[in-house]
Amino acid sequence: MYRNLEECIIDLEKSGQLVRVHEEVDPYLEMAAIHMKVNAAGGPALLFENVKGSKFRAVSNLFGNLERSKYIFRDTLEATKDVIALSKNPLSILKNPFRHIGTGLAASKALPLKSASSKLAGFEEIQISDLPLIHHWPKDGGAFVTLPQVYTEDPEKPGIMNSNLGMYRVQLSGNDYIMNKEVGLHYQIHRGIGIHQQKANKLGMPLKVSVFIGGPPAHTLAAIMPLPEGLSEMTVAGMLSGRNFRYTYVDGYCISLDADFVLTGEVYPGETKPEGPFGDHIGYYSLVHDFPVMRVHKVFAKSNAIWPFTVVGRPPQEDTAFGELIHELTGNAVRQEIPGVKEVHAVDAAGVHPLLFAIGSERYTPYQRVKQPAEILTIANRILGTGQLSLAKYLFITAEEDQPLDTHKETEFLTYILERIDLRRDIHFQTNTTIDTLDYSGTGLNTGSKVIIAAYGDKKRSLCREVPEQLKDLRSFTNHRLVMPGVVAIEGPEFIDYQQAQKQLQELCTAVEARGMLQDCPMIILCDDSSFISRSLANFLWAAFTRSNPSHDIYGVNSCYENKHWACDNMIIDIRTKPHHAPQLIPDSKVEKNIERLFIKGGSLSNLKL
């Protein structure tokens, strides 16, 4: 396996999976635009050899697709999967001891290896301003590190085995940050670094932070792994790379000896500065908010260092491949952690956290003739109380019975749910709760609501496959389009505020109710552009579940409360753009045109079949 990033790059180039960009490229928008164009076409990794304003090279799209990601970890993937599985179920080795013979060798690479010397051979001290300051989207607040490995230790129990390694974006420039002296740390709720900072604050001391960039690709992947309790990211970094994580301490800061770059600094109690905006992975900007500021201590770089980066935006992007690879490694972890669950799918097209599909079991009352959700409600609550799954906003859950189900076949799965949903029983809200930091559909930062849609039992309806007559020729509501079986999108007036929206939705509900039962269309989507919503399933999943807050934006035909439980005959989701929503990511057209020079005859990327 690879000892460093350069070895990976050379290997990918030999196998035809990497292309060098020789021309000078501007880190302001150009590098990101080139990356997105190549990634969208399923193209190779890119090594930028001439970054304007920096002597360092940069690489992107390393993990551009699952095939390339699995190629990078081809020697260690299976053994690492075994170790992760054993950490959740160690007794399994007794059932099949011979299968796990290779696991011991993988585990031997897990223990981090401390250098006896604190001298940083091969490193030079540099400044933040020497780095490739990559600006990704037009409205970004500055340059960001998008593939950082942010390292902290437990202030109460210091040491590498009580550390946290996470991928929390780092703002290098812009806003009120003093160049070369301060950077911003953006981390969301349910992150290990928050626990460490809280302990440091309680002790009245600054939290020491090291940011590693580059090194073996395994170190980057380890930083985003959702690991079982008690399994350190540092040990997974060693197993995935087939080589112990090598480190030392300088001035009290942990230094990864395999990283290409290391930023060190301290976060002081109560010190924050405005961070953002940043074009994020849901497809919108995350806006300016106060986040911890890190006082920079020292910055180090290898003499021939390479700066890895990615670009996030509306899915799919390179982080989609990250998610697929993580599922390969930890796919069974959720099943082992939550009894009765068969499958949980964080839907990438909807930005991951806004939408979960799940398959559970129904074993509580097998003797009853009437089939209804029971165990899957218990499972749903367990899912929403588990790690980052707790950030989900919409959870659709059912149980298999006569036919096998696959949550990754989104149309089939939603169709199965909508054929069986009892709209007067199966919709369960959680209000005034936490949602993803990047989701601006709620009532404030990290705050909003959730809804569980749990349907199980015999098929109740055949779903419409064209727009029902009851939804045509409605005053103020036009351009009716079938999205998928049982789901129709209609356009409404521009959203002004919730007071006016409630009046508009009451008008819509009354009009539909007056036209008679609409049994075959359980879900109606009120939107700004029904042609866009109906053009593809990806458009529907993205817009519907990123632009709505369940408690505020779900309405119903003939809705009522029955002993505090909300019920309706047809569910209407208002996904119109609201004034408090974050702006959508739109590329700069001039930059898009300018990068074409690389793709025409004679350019570095002219041979790519995009």
Query: Residue 92: what pLDDT?
Result: 42
Q: Please state whether 477 falls in left (phi above 0), alpha (psi between -120 and 50) or beta.
A: beta
Average pLDDT, the chain: 91
Average pLDDT for 316-336? 82
Query: Residue 561: what pLDDT?
Result: 95
Q: Using CA atoms, how far apart are residues 210 and 214, in angstroms rounded to an integer?
A: 13
Q: Quick check: 81 pLDDT over 90?
A: no
The string of pLDDT tens digits covering residues 261-301 is 999 999 999 999 999 999 999 999 999 999 999 999 999 99
**CA neighbours closer than 13 Å in the CB half-sphere of residue 272:** 12
Cβ within 8 Å of residue 446, ≥6 positions away: 188, 189, 434, 435, 436, 437
Q: Higher-confidence residue: 337 or 564?
A: 564
* Residue type present at position 244: N
Cis peptide, bond prior to residue 316, ω within 30 of zero: yes
Q: Using CA atoms, how far apart are residues 269 and 188, in angstroms rounded to an integer?
A: 17
Cβ within 8 Å of residue 48, ≥6 positions away: 21, 25, 31, 57, 58, 59, 60, 132
DSSP 473: S
Q: Quick check: 49 pLDDT over 60?
A: yes
Query: Residue 97: what pLDDT?
Result: 38
Query: Residue 228: what pLDDT?
Result: 60
Residues 65-92 as b/e (b if ≥16 CB within 10 A, e otherwise) read bbebbeebbeebbebbbbbbbbbbeeee
Q: Using CA atoms, how far apart are residues 450 and 384, in angstroms rounded to an integer?
A: 9
The string of pLDDT tens digits covering residues 190-223 is 567 888 999 999 999 999 999 999 999 999 998 9
Query: Residue 107: what pLDDT?
Result: 61
Whether 79 and 239 have beta carbons less than 8 Å apart is answered as yes
The string of pLDDT tens digits covering residues 462-488 is 999 999 999 998 888 999 999 999 999
Query: Residue 230: what pLDDT?
Result: 61
C-alpha torsion angle, residues 18, 23, 27, 31 (rounded to 10): -40
Which residue's structure tokens are 């809705």? 559
Which residue's structure tokens are 């609550």? 381
DSSP 147: S
Average pLDDT for 328-336? 74
With a pLDDT cut of 70, the percent of the chain lying above it is 93
* Residue type present at position 413: F
Whether 380 and 397 have beta carbons less than 8 Å apart is answered as yes
* Residue type present at position 380: A
Q: Using CA atoms, how far apart are residues 429 and 427, in angstroms rounded to an integer?
A: 7
Which residue's structure tokens are 């025409």? 600
Q: How confident is the model at residue 106 (pLDDT cuts 50, 70, 90)?
A: low
Q: Using CA atoms, how far apart are residues 544 and 497, in angstroms rounded to an integer?
A: 18
Q: How confident is the model at residue 533 (pLDDT cuts 50, 70, 90)?
A: very high
The string of pLDDT tens digits covering residues 218-268 is 999 989 887 765 677 888 888 888 889 999 999 999 999 999 999 999 999
* Residues paired with residue 153 on neighbouring β-strands, in sequence order: 163
Q: Quick check: 189 pLDDT over 80?
A: no
Q: Using CA atoms, how far apart are residues 28 and 17, in angstroms rounded to an integer?
A: 25
Average pLDDT for 539-546? 98
Query: Residue 377: what pLDDT?
Result: 96
Q: Quick check: 58 pLDDT over 60?
A: yes
E strand spans, 200-312: 207-213, 246-250, 253-256, 261-275, 278-279, 285-286, 289-302, 306-309
> What are 476's two structure tokens?
């103020």
Q: How many residues does the chain have?
A: 610
Minimum mean pLDDT among 359-368, 411-420, 559-568: which range? Answer: 359-368
Cβ within 8 Å of residue 294, ≥6 positions away: 170, 182, 183, 184, 185, 209, 263, 265, 266, 267
Q: How confident is the model at residue 416 (pLDDT cuts 50, 70, 90)?
A: very high
Q: Quick check: 343 pLDDT over 70?
A: yes
> What are 80's two structure tokens?
């690492």
Q: How confident is the model at residue 90 (pLDDT cuts 50, 70, 90)?
A: very low
The string of pLDDT tens digits covering residues 356-377 is 999 999 987 776 776 889 999 9
Query: Residue 78: what pLDDT?
Result: 80
Q: Quick check: 44 pLDDT over 90?
A: yes
Residues 144-153 as b/e (b if ≥16 CB within 10 A, e otherwise) read bbbbbbbbbb
With a pLDDT cut of 90, the percent of the chain lying above it is 74
Q: How confident is the model at residue 100 (pLDDT cuts 50, 70, 90)?
A: very low
Q: Using CA atoms, how far apart are residues 587 and 260, in angstroms rounded to an integer?
A: 30
What domains can you pick out in the chain, each with its CATH number? 5-72+109-309 (2.30.110.10), 332-454 (3.40.1670.10), 469-574 (3.40.1670)
Q: Quick check: 101 pLDDT over 50?
A: no
Q: How confident is the model at residue 581 (pLDDT cuts 50, 70, 90)?
A: very high
Q: Please state whether 47 falls in left (phi above 0), alpha (psi between -120 and 50) or beta.
A: beta
The string of pLDDT tens digits covering residues 371-407 is 889 999 999 999 999 888 888 999 999 998 878 999 9
Query: Residue 98: what pLDDT?
Result: 37
Residues 367-385 as b/e (b if ≥16 CB within 10 A, e otherwise) read eeeeebbbbbbbbbebbbe
The string of pLDDT tens digits covering residues 507-532 is 999 999 998 889 999 999 999 999 99
Nearest to 220 by CA among 285, 306, 292: 306
Query: Residue 237: what pLDDT?
Result: 87
Query: Residue 111: what pLDDT?
Result: 86
Q: Quick check: 91 pLDDT over 50?
A: no
Q: Higher-confidence residue: 488 or 82?
A: 488
DSSP 270: E
Q: Higher-confidence residue: 142 or 117?
A: 142
